[in-house]
Structure 1
């Protein structure tokens, strides 16, 4: 009896276990069976939205256009952010190898000796001065980009910027005879009636100056072919004495190695030499026909004229350079390029 009473009291004192609620069925999509207009369905396809996951807020749970747009925005917000673009690697310093000439005493090569003697003779015999102008060659660069493929196919040589400078320089020499002249030992001046333009070329043997004969009578294609022919001879060692004689004026492309400009020593016994600096793209103030003065990215280059002040005055040098500048900036070479 006591045991029975104890069991009754114990069972009575403990709370009865709660009845387990039946599992709720998975909610059906709220838009299940709801009518979706063709416009809303098309919008959902365009936005990549699954209509079964959209809760319609229209009458009777109908999915509206705004519901699709909000779902699309929510989807974008949940998308993982695109990884930030990796910063471009900083340029590496070139690895410079020590020259085997370090610590050596060697005999000056014959070519180097001839160059040295001519440079010293030029400095000791002339009153040399340099004048520099800045030239906008944007039109030249654009013309070259348009014409280079067809030019190479037609002429068999690449179209570098050099022929444009040579032609402009040669044309200006015809109008400025003092720049295309020489001082003779007897005190007379010879004004040349031909424009034989030397092209200073860096080579393993030293500075070579092959000459484009009668450059003033050649078109761009002729200048390009002759330049390529002489450059090949320099590389392969096939220059003949005639290739380097008879020059009346010289052009040195100091920009080919990245120099902005150089104070050139005139190639004696000539009285002037033109230096072409590196072409650099930079912002410049230009006068636009509609916008007036504005800033634009342009291809710019420095031209340096070194000259013998005994014959060529600074005003002569400036006039010559400005004529070369005007020819290049006008960029009227379409006819020769077949454009």
Structure 2
């Protein structure tokens, strides 16, 4: 008995997805909920698990193919996978019978059919031999095109070529990295062979379907190309399979040469980094990381599929990915694995006084400037005096922020909150909380709880505008602004009004981690009714947030600072005391929310935080 695996609904308004990688092959045994394949949508990459246990008998959607929600992806059954020869044996007699019928019924079309069949057989054999021999036997090579990377995505920007012209590539080996609105992804090679031509340069934006590169063709063993093409014309069905095994032998030779002599692969990768060439001053510094850069690329290939974020992080920290043990699904290397490797690498350097000066200039650089940890710029200093195109995510953020200001009438109200009691509760519970929950207890869950409770009392703030109607939401779904390397993303904590401080702390930590590691799903990015942005985590006193449309309210939390303030004593007098103070800034849509409404809402949040009743 067999069961079909279909494309699930991957989020609100998502109608299709692109198959980026199959994690299992035909004939593999899979368990229930074991990942079968990876699918890319507008904003995220996600894995599709197997609904049943059995054998993967058939793959119905190829990689880079875009399919609609509900479409069949694969067939999983109890028995072994059907052999390809059985299908051929069944299809060949059927074609023969159809040919006999056509000869009897339409003798006039006999010559046309005979003329078309050899031509089709030649093209099929040339393409198949090109796949097996690495594209060497294909006269024009195989063109790699920009795939459809999600619904409504019409173009992508080339961020980095992972291979140079003349390099050998294998089937499904990553050729380049492409950036879209929300995700960075890799484009694999559809065939094995030599990368003979790069048609699009880095930082160039191209539309879906545009040609990116050519694999095979002239310059990759063209001397052997005529023989396979001429001989199949006489005996296409017999000699083509005989020559395919012969072409596999030279296919393995480039692999061995590349493995034994890694220097040619490092040479083309060194000039790929545009930053050192644009900034002449640090010419000596980039030369040292040139070797780790090459080893990072080879390590990524050895470690399997690695996201661009992880590869960039490894390159910045001079980590060879081939030495990193992945803790993700199927042994995949995650961002945290690279961070742990970098931390372990720096520990012995800090123990010896001579090593940090030579091996870790980046770690010693912030010391003279006095920049506190966590406040370093996310833009490398080597970009000074340079110019680059905006990333897709940066363009989307810019467009939506301008649209938000044009759509609604926005202004900001600020109140001051005494967080002393919350700080005492947090200090008493944070050690036990981290030991029990496995995550740090910050001030944000307390603020989120107070916000969710205030939204219940003030439903006019927990609303959105649709045309000429105001929609008052029945649940409190908090969008949490997360700072990522690519830009600001706001995943959603659903039904935050039903959670306590511990539940909110776990939920916020979960969506933040999955956002930074690009494991967030489309459902987690939609449905928010109110947004919290924690700019105080970087020391800002307060800001004036721009609304996250179509929401009508957004709360900005400032830094918590200990300073002297006037407080009322128990005898009714006034005294000076050192308190933990914070500013709360709320931006709101004046089309729906008046200033008095905003002040009442902030007053409710302020009172809830200052009472500090969070011991439970």
- Provide the TM-score with structure 2 as the length reference: 0.39
| TM-fit CA distance, 1:92 | 5.4
Distance, in Å, in 1 between the alignment partners of 2:602 and 2:435 is 33
Q: Deviations over 1:109-153 (max 9, x none)?
A: 111111111101110001000000000000000100001111122
Distance, in Å, in 1 between the alignment partners of 2:398 and 2:519 is 22
- RCO higher in structure (CA 8 A, sep ≥6): 1
Distance, in Å, in 1 between the alignment partners of 2:588 and 2:395 is 23
Residue 295 of structure 1: aligned partner: 576
Matched, 1:312 2:593: yes
Distance, in Å, in 2 between the alignment partners of 1:216 and 1:111 is 31
Distance, in Å, in 2 between the alignment partners of 1:130 and 1:249 is 15
Distance, in Å, in 2 between the alignment partners of 1:167 and 1:126 is 27
Per the alignment, in what secondary structure is the counterpart of residue 177 of structure 1?
coil
Distance, in Å, in 2 between the alignment partners of 1:149 and 1:320 is 32
Residue 102 of structure 1: aligned partner: 384
Distance, in Å, in 2 between the alignment partners of 1:150 and 1:256 is 22
Distance, in Å, in 1 between the alignment partners of 2:491 and 2:509 is 11
Residue 393 of structure 2: aligned partner: 111
Q: Deviations over 1:79-114 (max 9, x none)?
A: xxxxxxxxxxxx953378963333433232111111
Residue 327 of structure 1: aligned partner: 608
- Report the RMSD for the aligned CA atoms in angstroms: 1.6
Residue 511 of structure 2: aligned partner: 230
Distance, in Å, in 2 between the alignment partners of 1:99 and 1:234 is 26
Where structure 1 has 5 or more consecutive residues not aligned to the other structure, the ranges are: 1-90
Where structure 2 has 5 or more consecutive residues not aligned to the other structure, the ranges are: 1-366
Q: How many residues align?
A: 244
Matched, 1:195 2:476: yes
Residue 147 of structure 1: aligned partner: 429
Matched, 1:214 2:495: yes
| TM-fit CA distance, 1:304 | 0.3
Distance, in Å, in 1 between the alignment partners of 2:550 and 2:422 is 32
Pick from 462, 485, 507 the counterpart of residue 204 of structure 1.
485
Distance, in Å, in 1 between the alignment partners of 2:384 and 2:567 is 50
Residue 566 of structure 2: aligned partner: 285
Bigger Rg over Cα: 1
Map 1:1-339; keep pairs closer than 5 Å.
Answer: 93-94=369-370, 99-185=381-467, 187-290=468-571, 292-335=573-616
| TM-fit CA distance, 1:237 | 2.1
Q: Deviations over 1:17-76 (max 9, x none)?
A: xxxxxxxxxxxxxxxxxxxxxxxxxxxxxxxxxxxxxxxxxxxxxxxxxxxxxxxxxxxx
Distance, in Å, in 2 between the alignment partners of 1:108 and 1:243 is 26
Q: Deviations over 1:302-334 (max 9, x none)?
A: 000000101100000000000000000000011
Distance, in Å, in 2 between the alignment partners of 1:153 and 1:104 is 46
Residue 61 of structure 1: aligned partner: none
Distance, in Å, in 2 between the alignment partners of 1:107 and 1:285 is 51
Distance, in Å, in 2 between the alignment partners of 1:105 and 1:160 is 38
Distance, in Å, in 2 between the alignment partners of 1:283 and 1:94 is 26
Distance, in Å, in 2 between the alignment partners of 1:92 and 1:140 is 35
| TM-fit CA distance, 1:236 | 1.6
Per the alignment, in what secondary structure is the counterpart of residue 295 of structure 1?
strand
Per the alignment, in what secondary structure is the counterpart of residue 221 of structure 1?
helix
Per the alignment, in what secondary structure is the counterpart of residue 480 of structure 2?
strand
Distance, in Å, in 2 between the alignment partners of 1:315 and 1:230 is 33
Distance, in Å, in 2 between the alignment partners of 1:117 and 1:241 is 20
Distance, in Å, in 1 between the alignment partners of 2:490 and 2:511 is 9
| TM-fit CA distance, 1:193 | 0.7
| TM-fit CA distance, 1:270 | 0.6
- Provide the TM-score with structure 1 as the length reference: 0.69
